[in-house]
Amino acid sequence: MLKVGILGGGQLGRMLLQSAANYPVETFVLENDENCPSAHLCHHFTRGDIRKFDDVYRFGKGLDAIAIEIESVNEQALEKLEEEGVAVYPRPAALRIIKNKIAQKEYYRERNIPSPDFVITRSPDEVKQYASFLPAVHKLAEGGYDGRGVQVIRSEKELSKAFPAPSVLEKMVDIYKEIAQIVAIDQQGGITLYPPVEMVFDQELNLLDYQLSPADITDDIKARVEAISLDAVKGLQSAGIFAVELFLDRKQNVYVNEMAPRVHNSGHHTIEGNYSSQFDMLWRIILGYPLGNTAEILPAALVNLLGEPGHNGDADYQGLPEALQRGNVFIHLYGKRQTKPGRKMGHATILGENKETLINEAHALKQIIKIRTKK
């Protein structure tokens, strides 16, 4: 049996491990928190820091392959492990490009991949020189996730919000829709794409509100989304699963926002909505099996289950029987003991024939399921 390690023990790792149970693979997880979502689903749990060279190197030595569920891992250790014969998904060279938003934006520019125009800033004073570039979005080069590390700067009055660290200042796009495209690449370079999805955001939390699959876009836009995503991903020269986040603006331009070289939150619905889920697909890639079928079984909506405002502490999941009573609703709780306002505690997938029903169901579920603290 192949020995495969996962760096990071969050919900993505958890769902990856749920799929691993179907295959001849021995799983290992490296993560600091012994009670993380993945801890109880792997064969071997190692406590350690995924950002530290020694922890990652020691963990990876002797494994056949390593996958990541988050980008903030020690890529030097992965490089050394790769040299010593461990297969790493994605290749460390690809991870290096994506991990740093400055390197990622330069990559798009070099390859002529459409992406919003940008300048690099290294200090807040430098940002002030780019007043003519506003309105813009300031993005920390490293360490941001889930919208933290992203700051909208509309006018000169807001320049004080700029990050005091190396960042990208990107032109504000007049977004009509946010699209995500998941691409799978096997070890021989064989490629398959999932149907693109469309995302609707919560303005306040800057977190995904709900997501629809497939995206409601014209064939022409879909073709451009696919072509741009393929171009962006192929240049990384790595096998694995890749998620490309794109913007469609009001003039029908398509831009790459960013990429993730791993299973991604925009692919959670593929567990029930598509024949081969993104998690199943990554195991096929790692284990050297044929790629799976990405076609959808039914259209799907995905709702994040977030901690209720004002509730901090042991999580209590309310409304699950009522939610599950509705047709084609599937619940995924991530096994996080403590809830916090806005924390991603799980998600629900809804399958249905048409977009209107899916949107109505998504709104209904958000009212029905509440994650509070125990009384």
> Whole-number minimum distance, CB 293 to ligand ATP, in Å?
27
* Residue 258 C-beta: closest distance to Mg ion, Å: 5
**Rounded Cα–Cα distance for residues 355 and 30 (Å):** 40
In the shown chain, the binding pattern of residues 101 to 140 toward ligand ATP, with x for contact by CB under 6 A and - for none, equals: ---------------x--------------------x-x-
What SS3 class is residue 287?
A: helix
Contact status, residue 14 vs residue 37, Cβ threshold 8 Å: yes
Backbone angles phi, psi at 104, to 5 degrees: -65, -45
Are the beta carbons of 254 and 271 closer than 8 angstroms? no
> How far is 20 from 16, CA to CA, in rounded Å?
6
Q: Which residue is nearest to ligand ATP (CB)?
A: 173
- Closest approach, Cβ 182 to Mg ion, in A, equals 14
- Closest CB to Mg ion among 147 and 288? 147
Residue 272's contacts (CB-CB under 8 Å, 6 or more residues apart) are 297, 300, 330, 349, 351
The Cα 15–Cα 280 span in angstroms is 9
**By the rule CB under 6 A, 75 interacts with ligand ATP:** no
Provide the mask over 194-213, with x wherever binding to ligand ATP is found by CB under 6 A and - wherever it is not.
Answer: -------x------------
CB-nearer residue toward ligand ATP: 147 or 190: 147
Select from 375, 365, 370 the least CA-distant residue to 317.
Answer: 370
Could you tell me if 284 and 186 are in contact, meaning their C-beta atoms sit under 8 angstroms apart? yes
Which amino acid appears at position 3 of this protein? K
Question: Could you tell me the smallest distance in angstroms from the CB atom of residue 80 to ligand ATP?
Answer: 27
DSSP character for 148? B
10: partner contacted, choices Mg ion, ligand ATP, none (Cβ within 5-8 A by kind): none
Query: What one-character DSSP code corresponds to residue 309?
Result: T
Residue 146, contacted partner among ligand ATP, Mg ion, none, CB below 5-8 A by kind: ligand ATP
Closer of 67 and 256 to ligand ATP (Cβ): 256
In 3-state terms, what secondary structure has residue 359? Answer: helix
Distance CA 361, CA 353 (A): 12
Chain residues 166-195 in contact with ligand ATP, contact rule CB under 6 A: 170, 172-173, 175, 178
Kindly state the smallest distance separating residue 211's Cβ from ligand ATP, in Å.
Answer: 12
Among 26, 64, 146, 231, indicate the residue that binds ligand ATP (CB under 6 A).
146
Query: H or E segment at 56?
Result: helix 53-60
Residues 286-345 that bind ligand ATP (CB under 6 A): none
Q: For Mg ion, which is the closer residue by CB, 245 or 280?
A: 245
Binding stretches for Mg ion (CB under 5 A): 245
In the complex, the smallest distance separating the C-beta of residue 342 from ligand ATP, rounded to whole angstroms, is: 12
Q: Which of 147, 152, 116, 107 is nearest to 134 (CA)?
A: 152
Question: What's the chain's length in residues?
Answer: 375
Closer residue to ligand ATP in complex, CB, 182/368: 182
Identify which range of 147-155, 187-195, 301-309, 345-353 contacts ligand ATP by CB under 6 A.
147-155
Tell me which of ligand ATP, Mg ion, none is bound by residue 106, counting a contact when its beta carbon lies within the kind-specific cut-off of 5 to 8 angstroms: none
- Nearest residue (CB) to ligand ATP, 205 versus 364: 205
- In angstroms, give the least distance from the CB of 187 to ligand ATP: 27
The whole-angstrom separation of Cα 171 and Cα 114 is: 13
Q: Where are the beta strands (DSSP E) in 194-310?
A: 197-202, 207-213, 240-249, 254-260, 300-306
Which chain residues interact with ligand ATP by CB under 6 A? 116, 137, 139, 144-147, 149-150, 170, 172-173, 175, 178, 201, 245, 257-258
